[in-house]
Amino acid sequence: MYKLYGSLGAASLAPHCVLEASGEPYEFIPVDISDEVERDPEYLKLNPHGRVPTLVMGGEIMMESAAISIYLADKHPEANMAPTFDASQRWEYLQWMTYLTNTLQETMLLKRYSSGYTTDSDSSAVSDSAAERLNHILHVVGTGLEKNGGPFFLGDSLSIADIYLNMVLGWDPDIGAGASETTDWPNITKNYDALFSRDDVAKILLENGFPGPTS
C-alpha cells in the first residue's frame, strides 16, 4: 500500500489527487510543517529536507511533488490524470508540469517565504521582485490556458497540470483557490472551477481546505 506523507493544502495535494483517482489503497499521513515545530527525526530519515510530500511504496522512498504525481499517473493510467506516452498532447503536459514546478512554484516560494532567500533582515526586495515575476508567469499561464480552448491546459481533458497550478496558487491568499476571480486572469478561475467537475478531485480539494467552485 502507498503511504503519502503530506500536509493539507501543501505540495502533497497533487499526488494525493492522483492516488485518490487511481482507486489504489493508500494512507495519507499528516506531517506538521509549521515553522515552530521541529521536524520529527524519523521523518527526516524519509525526506532529508523535512518537506512534504514523500511517497513510500514498499521499500522505496520518493520525494518531489511533480515527480511523484507524474510517476503515479503513468503507473495508474486508470486515474486518467495524464496523456499516455504516445498521446499527441504528452509533450504539452510535460511542458506545463515542468514549468509549474520549476518556474511558478519556485517564484511562489520566493514571494511567500522571502526571508529564507536572503541574508538581509528585510526581505521585501526579494518578495517584491518575485511578485513582479509572478505577475508575468500568471500572464503566461492565462494565455496558455487559451491555446486548446480551456478550461484545462489540454482543452477539455483534466490533467495533473491543472491540479498543480491551483495547488501552488492556493499558497497565496491573494491569488489562489477561487480568489483569482478578483484578478486579471479569468481563465485561471475557469480552470479552478472546472476541477470540481471530477468528484475524486473535488473530494481531495475540499478535504484540503479549498472553498469549492466560485460559481
List residues near ligand GSH by CB under 6 A: 10-11, 33, 50-53, 64-65, 101
CB 155 to ligand GSH: min, Å = 26
What is the CA 116 to chain-centroid distance, rounded?
21
Torsion of CA 128, 132, 138, 144, to 10 degrees: -150
Q: Which is nearer to ligand GSH, 50 or 213 (CB)?
A: 50
CB 69 to ligand GSH: min, Å = 9
The residue number whose beta carbon is nearest to ligand GSH equals 51
CB 166 to ligand GSH: min, Å = 13
39: Cβ–Cβ under 8 A, 6 or more apart, which residues? Answer: 50
Q: Which is nearer to ligand GSH, 66 or 150 (CB)?
A: 66
Q: In what order do the strands lie in the sheet with 60-63?
A: 26-30, 2-6, 54-57, 60-63
Count each helix (H run) and each strand (E run) in the chain, helices first: 9, 4
CB 167 to ligand GSH: min, Å = 8
Q: Is 209 exposed, middle or buried (0-12, 13-18, 19+ CB in 10 A)?
A: exposed
Q: Which of 145, 164, 152 is nearest to 67 (CA)?
A: 164
Q: Which is nearer to ligand GSH, 102 or 197 (CB)?
A: 102
Q: Which is nearer to ligand GSH, 141 or 151 (CB)?
A: 141
CB 101 to ligand GSH: min, Å = 6
Q: Which amino acid is at 80?
A: N
Q: Which is nearer to ligand GSH, 21 or 70 (CB)?
A: 70
